Amino acid sequence: MSVEVLAGIVGRRMFPNQRIFHLSSAPGERALVYVVWIVRFPGRIVLVDSGFPQRVAAEHGIDDHLSTADLLAQLRLTLGDVDDVVVSHFHYDHFAAPSSFPRATFHVQRDEVEYWLGRGADHPVAVLVDKPSLGELPGLVEKGRVNVVDGGVTDIDGLKLARVGGHTPGSQITLVDHGDAPLVLACDASHTYDNLGTRTPAGSIHNYDECQRGFATVEALAKGGRWFPGHDAKILDGLQQMTDNVYRVPTEVAA
């Protein structure tokens, strides 16, 4: 099955190194990007993460914001063309305004749903989720538009989802069969290339041991191919720019 993988940039931000690397005292900042991954199969559009509205961008100091609707318009697509949204986790920059997708099915780990709709709802770390967006989730569940994935590795029509946890209770990564090599969209299992490279999680951690196992999982699944972290501006290196905000991942792996 032919597949095209595109990185859509919906925001940018300079971020302190001390918050990117757990227990770090490193000075300075680095450039982060906020990504919506677009996976195009023949006759099917899948997003990995949903993007977020201007309200969320303003609340969290994200610059150069672009709505997901405007991002898709650069490809002559609409929110109504999206068939599936894989939710890596429920933090505000990865899951927001799900009702704006009129027919999409959302794929999310059970651990993520149960935590944020349960004991995590009033935890201090809940500042990292968009509560109005989570409030839309039960209605989508009732309509049968949420596929709750229960750990391990799950196939969803050409993609594999793997629960890694660590950053949040049900963080998951996405594996794409891309050309002759695997492609792993690690999202916040590793915020930057250096998080995995140094085995240092980002500042927000739910389970440290799972963060470490998640690094190993990303490496193992991407063996012979490539992987992309959640926010490193360096992901754009080697990609093919298609529009102002959309970059294509080549099927060939650089030697």
Q: Which residue has the tokens 């926010």?
A: 231
Mean pLDDT, rounded, for 102-122: 97
The pTM score is: 0.95
Q: How far apart are CA 168 and CA 205, in angstroms?
A: 7
51, 71 contact by CB (below 8 A) = yes
Residue 75's CATH number: 3.60.15.10
27, 17 contact by CB (below 8 A) = yes
pLDDT value for 105? 98
Work out the end-to-end distance of the chain between its first and last CA atoms, rounded to an integer number of angstroms: 24
Residue 64 tokens read as 């150069």
Q: Using CA of residue 208, residue 109, residue 92, residue 30, what is the dihedral sign?
A: positive
Residue 34 tokens read as 């906020």
- Structural domains in the chain (count): 1
Q: How far apart are CA 247 and CA 240, in angstroms?
A: 5
Per-residue model confidence as pLDDT tens digits over 205-246:
999 999 999 999 999 999 999 999 999 999 999 999 999 999
Asked if residue 248 is part of any domain, the answer here is no
**Which range of residues forms the domain containing residue 190?**
4-242
Coil, strand or helix at 14: strand
Asked if residue 255 is part of any domain, the answer here is no
Coil, strand or helix at 55: helix
Asked if residue 250 is part of any domain, the answer here is no
Q: Is 15 left (phi over 0), alpha (psi -120 to 50) or beta?
A: beta
Asked if residue 160 is part of any domain, the answer here is yes
Q: How far apart are CA 211 and CA 217, in angstroms?
A: 10
Asked if residue 207 is part of any domain, the answer here is yes
Q: Using CA of residue 127, residue 198, residue 171, residue 71, what is the dihedral sign?
A: positive
Asked if residue 157 is part of any domain, the answer here is yes
Asked if residue 251 is part of any domain, the answer here is no
Per-residue model confidence as pLDDT tens digits over 37-93:
999 999 999 999 999 999 999 999 999 999 999 999 999 999 999 999 999 999 999
pLDDT value for 1? 56
* 105-109 sheet: strands from edge to edge: 146-149, 105-109, 84-86, 44-48, 29-41, 4-16, 246-248, 240-241
pLDDT band at 181 (very low <50, low <70, confident <90, very high): confident
DSSP classification of residue 249: P
